[in-house]
Amino acid sequence: MMKIWRRGIHQFPNLNARSVPKELIEKGQQRVIDASLTLIRERAKLKGELVRALGGAAASSSLLGVPLGHNSSFLQGPAFAPPRIREAIWCGSTNATTEVGKELNDPRVLTDVGDIPVQEIRDCGVEDDRLMKIIGESVKLVMEEAPLRPLVLGGDHSISFPVVRAVSEKLGGPVDILHLDAHPDIYHCFEGNKYSHASSFARIMEGGYARRLLQVGIRSITSEGREQGKKYGVEQYEMRSFSKDQHFLQNLHLGEGVKGVYISVDVDCLDPAFAPGVSHIEPGGLSFRDVLNILQNLKGDIVAADVVEFNPQRDTVDGMTAMVAAKLVRELTAKISR
């Protein structure tokens, strides 16, 4: 009975779509896409005007949520992460000052342009080729409003590809990427999906959007992951040799001679003891302080960043991982804004 019912609801969209003329569907999709971009454009404009009116900011973090989970190979919970992260940033259990003394209440340090309506766009049948372009366009709309710089809330890791592509296209050249993750996410194609969250860095490297890619925290890597890493000249720092690499990684200087530095933080770079609310529990990871040491000591112009793969459906009842993801966002904010 349950099986028939499930099959039933999934067939409804197809049945309905068949009775609607193709042109009408395309027109409807375009209207939804235009409305979505208008939403981001106007919000970015509003926040940009505010920050410029206050004056004095050369670079300013602006949150952009990308609630997308369908390119995950396992669980789709990261689609629900952006509102949970915002809630934890402002929950009041801690103050609004970052460790290095930046005030998050100051719009010149942090603003928020809201979420891309990913679900609404997908509901009208828009496929991933187009959805990825819409995500990229949204990132560019934020970058239009200097001094705003996008701090993207995922979402599964597939979103890093369109975000990095947009950043590189907008700045007119490649960036250096610091990628913290248990996994290299560099399969040429995972389970038939070129946009898989396990393939985002293959797309980034083949597109030439990064000069250097440093992957830190790696402890779940297949032979394909290593071969792909070699093919693209990726600097893969595995956890098994972290004690040896630690000093180097906690004193990085990136982005010179390119357009800047992009930081991508998969929450599962952390040991599950620190962040249990992720889809892929992978023991033997970084401590929260390891990550902060890497981020806080990094020298370079951070042009954009993302925090991805927090899965609220796997979090503890008190939302511990939401707080962890929020603190990563807070400290990245401090890193970007000046």
**Binding-site annotation, residues for Mn(2+):** 157, 181, 183, 185, 266, 268
**Helix (H, G, I), strand (E, B), or coil: what is residue 153?**
strand
Which of 145/181 has CB closer to Mn ion?
181
**Least CB distance from residue 59 to Mn ion, whole Å?**
27
Which of 266/290 has CB closer to Mn ion?
266
Helix axes 288-297, 320-336, angle to 10 degrees: 10
Q: Kindly list the distances between the CA atom of residue 145 and the CA atoms of 105, 139, 265, in Å, as whole numbers in the listed order.
A: 20, 11, 24
Q: How far is it, in rounded angstroms, from Cα 298 to Cα 302?
A: 10
**Least CB distance from residue 306 to Mn ion, whole Å?**
12
Which of 61/200 has CB closer to Mn ion?
200
Which of 182/234 has CB closer to Mn ion?
182
> How many helices and strands in the chain, by DSSP H and E?
11, 8
Q: How buried is residue 99: exposed, middle or buried, by Cβ count under 10 Å (0-12/13-18/19+)?
A: exposed
Which of 98/264 has CB closer to Mn ion?
264
Q: Where does this chain bind Mn ion (CB under 5 A)?
A: 181-183, 266, 268
**Least CB distance from residue 218 to Mn ion, whole Å?**
9
Q: Which residues 6+ apart lie within 8 Å of 203 measured at CB?
A: 161, 165, 194, 195
**Least CB distance from residue 297 to Mn ion, whole Å?**
23
> What are phi and psi for residue 106, nearest 5 degrees?
-85, 115
Sign of CA dihedral 104, 76, 79, 141: positive
Q: How far is it, in rounded angstroms, from Cα 321 to Cα 311?
A: 8
**Least CB distance from residue 260 to Mn ion, whole Å?**
24
Residue stretches of the annotated binding site: 157, 181, 183, 185, 266, 268
